[in-house]
Amino acid sequence: MNKKKFRGVMALILCFILCVSAAASDFTIALPGGGRGGENAENPFPDPVYNAIDFGDFVKATKNLLTLYESIDSDEGGKYASARLIVKASQALPDLSGYHAAQILADASYNYLVQFTNPADAEACDAYLNDLSYVIFSEPDREVKLPEPEKGAAGLGSMETGAEYNSWGVAATKAGEYATNLKARGINSEITVAVVDTGVDDSHPFLSGRVISGYDLVDDDATPQDGNGHGTHVSGTVVDCTPGLKINIMPVRVLNNRGSGSDSVVGLGIQYAVDHGANVINMSLGGLGHSEYIDSQIKYAVSKNVTVVVAAGNEGQDTKDYCPAGDTECITVAAVDKSKSKASFSNYGEAVDIAAPGVEIKSSVPGGGYDSWAGTSMATPHVAAAAALLLCENRSQTPAQIEKKLRDAAEDLGNSGWDRYFGAGFLNMASFIQKVPEPEPEPEPVEPEPEPVEPGNPLGNIRDVPEGSYYYDAVVWALGKGITKGTTETTFSPNATCTTKQILTFIWRANGSPQPKAMTVSGDFGKALAWADETGVSDSVGAQTEEACTRAAAMTYMWQDASKPDSGSNPFSDVSNNTFYAQAVCWAVQKGITNGTTATTFSPNNPCTRAQIMTFLYRYYVKAVNS
């Protein structure tokens, strides 16, 4: 008997077993290995429809389903090779036993994973479901795999002696220079890049301190270790492009050690990353054909302000035939070599947004070594890192704004303007690098000679606040309101630097010392910090409470306390409009709270002194609010 006839006979026998089982008693599942549903301890699904109680339960059930049916022989199944459908509906699905559905997974939002025992049944049911008006989409669960990279000869190399970066692309794109510039300007917001891939070797020394908790959706556990190497190489490039910053890697394992997986698991990986705080998602993977499910998951990410960056693919073909490369909601990355010529393998097409270094890219590999690989997979993390750097400077930017900035700043390659091989051009972060203001010398504190206390002196015993100083009225007001008591009985220490904790406490007291919801905190500092967190006063500036607070951060806290009102024009050359504090500073100028340190400078990175913060508060609460 030839192979095709044998499969046909086996399919008929299997259908007969299913029908007999259903008619005889409760429906039981005929398994590829010969077992039966509820009577077999190896089968995790005693019923033909499994209703997951939450996302974690659906992940576990998906893993069990794929394991249970991985032995299906589907050499002739084509796009239905998995004999499995991904379905989204607006109401419950009808009984699918007539199509020999072996197992159905469902959640409360009418998302389904429907497993069959042969591709023909899956294809027939897919046609039926797509004719139902309440089915949003039904599609085969495709195979997803890595764009196969070209690897170097060895995997245990080391960083080159004296080399500043592993990848030549870090210097070529100016990503490393921009990262250094951000740090020099005091900008280091914590940003998370989810690497949805084969996992990450978090013990690699180059990744030390940069890998946070993630998840393994292949094995359904919290240890997404990399048995392939691809995810570690991708992650190393993200870290390489962001030296010295708090840009972390969240490993989300969706591909097995062979570098393959399915849309169903990749889509869950996207959702996991979004729901667990990712700001950027890197997906250097893909599959043939379009997936409405993956498209919907990417749209979900974008709706949550998560920027998604994907590889164009290594087939030298049009991206319209691949997913997620052909998706318009994400940033699709093509690859170029050191001469900025198109890499021979790089896919092209209408979906390509930008090109990045993708040939001879050296990065980390499992086991502590380094290797040079080539592929659009290697180009993609350069762009994911660039997106993370822009968010580090201003995390309120949307994915569309991030994409536009990267495209507008790109170095044009190929035909003038956008083209299907390079997109907008070569990734170039040079235009985002700003001049680091020279620190102003701190004035020497002048301690006036103590004078006898005069009756009616508004400063009480305070002796280091000269009458006629710019901050005199502010300190008198603050002492009278109980906002400060001075640093000692006789000193206010006007030139002393304030910590973040002190400034938030002053703002809290200026608001009347409201009781925070967190009733367990005690003391003014504890109450002030809890209140600032609850009300959003400190939501966009990392409150490192014991560190010196900059003028930029202090003004941002006040602006957020004022509910982030619209701001005026920007008169300062050292305040870039794309910084987190720009709106706050412009608002403060509009309200007369600050005039800057000179007519054209604000000195945002200088520490805020006690005299300055009291003056800012006085001008706002006494003058601006009451004007």
The answer to whether 336 and 379 have CB atoms below 8 angstroms apart is yes
325 φψ region: left (φ > 0), alpha (ψ -120 to 50), beta (else): alpha
Q: In whole angstroms, what is the distance from residue 122 CA to residue 513 CA?
A: 65
Q: In whole angstroms, what is the distance from residue 521 CA to residue 515 CA?
A: 10
51 has which bridge partners?
106
Is 221 one of the annotated active-site residues of the chain?
no
Structure tokens at 23: 């008619």
Q: In whole angstroms, what is the distance from residue 328 CA to residue 557 CA?
A: 37
Angle 138-139-140 from CA coordinates, rounded to 5°:
140
Say which of 197, 201, 202, 240 is annotated catalytic: 197
The answer to whether 301 and 282 have CB atoms below 8 angstroms apart is no
93, 103, 122, 125, 134 from 129: Cα distances, Å = 9, 16, 10, 6, 9
Is 276 one of the annotated active-site residues of the chain?
no
Angle 8-11-13 from CA coordinates, rounded to 5°:
110
The number of C-alpha atoms within 13 Å of 355 and in the hemisphere containing its C-beta is 29
Structure tokens at 506: 């002053």
The DSSP code for 497 is: B
33, 392, 423 from 332: Cα distances, Å = 41, 21, 9
The answer to whether 411 and 431 have CB atoms below 8 angstroms apart is no
Q: In whole angstroms, what is the distance from residue 559 CA to residue 588 CA?
A: 8
Q: Which residues contact 172 (CB under 8 A, 6 or more apart)?
A: 338, 357
Q: In whole angstroms, what is the distance from residue 272 CA to residue 220 CA?
A: 12
Say which of 167, 264, 363, 377 is annotated catalytic: 377
The answer to whether 507 and 558 have CB atoms below 8 angstroms apart is yes
Structure tokens at 608: 């805020």
Is 574 one of the annotated active-site residues of the chain?
no
Say which of 204, 230, 233, 382 is annotated catalytic: 230
Beta strands in 1-149 (DSSP E): 49-51, 84-89, 103-106, 111-115, 135-140, 143-145
The answer to whether 258 and 218 have CB atoms below 8 angstroms apart is no
Which position has the token pair 């006789």? 490
Q: Point out the residues that are catalytic.
A: 197, 230, 377
